[in-house]
Amino acid sequence: MPVIARFEVRHRNYLAPNGSINRPLPAFASDADLLISLYRAMVLLRLFDQKAVALQRTGRLGTYAVSLGQEAVSVGMASAMREEDVLLPSYRDNGALIWRGVKLEEILLFWGGDERGNCFSGPVHDFPFCVPVGSQAPHAAGVAYALKLRKEPRVAVCLFGDGATSKGDVYEAMNFAGVHKLPIVFVVANNQWAISVPLRLQTSCETLAQKAIAAGFTGEQVDGSDVVAMRAAAEEAVAAARNGKGPRFIEAVTYRLGDHTTSDDASRYRSADEVQARWKEEPIARLRAYLVAQKMWGKADEERLASECHERIEAAVERYLATAPRRPETMFDHLYADLPEVYAAQRGELAGEHDA
């Protein structure tokens, strides 16, 4: 029987785990300022995560999901977007939000249970954190459809995890995007785990990138612990989508070095040896090794960066803790243009109780 179709999936990597170069770097890597800004963003995110966990452990923050080990994914993606592009993040994409101008105290507010955190300082057209797994994918396809109808040269960037790739929402969104050649980039942060479910129980595919083939567009696998590779893949995919070439799919292969969230204890379902081995690949030490070898970065820079991050984080925490909670009756405020009588009564009751 004749072969009627053949497909291939490419893997992109530039920096080896020890910071040496595996293949010629993309053009942007000659811009030391850009590489350093990616490095700074990843370090800020890691230190901010540490502080957020400390706040949660001392009862001053709700559940929180760290990006430990996968900082390069959200930072690399966001760095290739334009302000007018639209970000549709999951709950683990703080790196992208911060890059796009969301304040640290706004992120803390949201995870502290205050919806005002979603009314953030990033682009107003960006979407809020999405906690229901994969449900941002159909939203993203809808956004991209609107951008195409309006003939606006903007791109929707949708981030989700490996677990989300088993959801109908993600397949449906990808299929729709392929049919209509929408300006959208789907990015899966394949961190090998969906809470306690390992990748081998998520799919029997060799790659997640190949899932794009069924939707009729290109899927690429990228070393998601190599921020240079993430940025390069993002640049190409965002440019293709902006230039009318339709959707792209990026599988960022990385590893979740931390617990799923502060409500999880990963030591109950995976070995310390597995985690230890993966620490050798993590993105921050990798880029630092490259920058130091190129004499772009040194010990004094590292110390200055640590103290700058520390000050910025502490100031944000102070502003967060000083924010007075909303009055409970405000929970009714954005439900209806005209609040039905039954809710108006409840609102009044709560307001009264609160004053009492």
Ligand X SMILES: Cc1ncc(C[n+]2csc(CCOP(=O)(O)OP(=O)(O)O)c2C)c(N)n1
Residue numbers of the site for ligand X (CB under 6 A)?
A: 92, 131-133, 160-164, 189, 191, 193-195, 256, 260
What is the maximum span of the chain, computed from C-alpha positions, in angstroms? 81
Q: Which is nearer to Mg ion, 89 or 161 (CB)?
A: 161
Measured from the CB of residue 86, what is the shortest distance to Mg ion in angstroms?
A: 23
Q: Is 162 in the site for Mg ion (CB under 5 A)?
A: yes
Measured from the CB of residue 193, what is the shortest distance to ligand X in angstroms?
A: 6
Chain-centre distance of CA 103, in angstroms? 15
**Distance in angstroms (rounded) separating the CA atoms of residues 286 and 39:** 10
**Distance in angstroms (rounded) separating the CA atoms of residues 122 and 99:** 9
Q: Report how many residues bind Mg ion under the rule CB under 5 A.
A: 4
Which span (18-26, 84-92, 189-197, 293-301) binds Mg ion, by CB under 5 A?
Answer: 189-197
Which span (36-44, 72-80, 183-191, 348-356) binds Mg ion, by CB under 5 A?
Answer: 183-191
Residues involved in catalysis:
256, 260, 269
CA atoms within 13 A on the CB side of 183: 25
| Residue 132 interacting entry, from ligand X, Mg ion, none, C-beta within 5 to 8 Å by type | ligand X
Chain-centre distance of CA 82, in angstroms? 16
Which span (16-24, 97-105, 159-167, 168-176) binds Mg ion, by CB under 5 A?
Answer: 159-167
Measured from the CB of residue 150, what is the shortest distance to Mg ion in angstroms?
A: 34
**Distance in angstroms (rounded) separating the CA atoms of residues 182 and 143:** 9
CB 225 within 8 A of CB 254: yes
| Ramachandran category for residue 191: left, alpha or beta (phi over 0 → left; psi -120 to 50 → alpha) | alpha
CB 78 within 8 A of CB 100: yes
Q: Which is nearer to ligand X, 162 or 220 (CB)?
A: 162
Q: Which is nearer to ligand X, 163 or 219 (CB)?
A: 163
CB 102 within 8 A of CB 78: no
Measured from the CB of residue 335, what is the shortest distance to ligand X in angstroms?
A: 22
* Binding positions for Mg ion, rule: CB under 5 A: 161-162, 191, 194
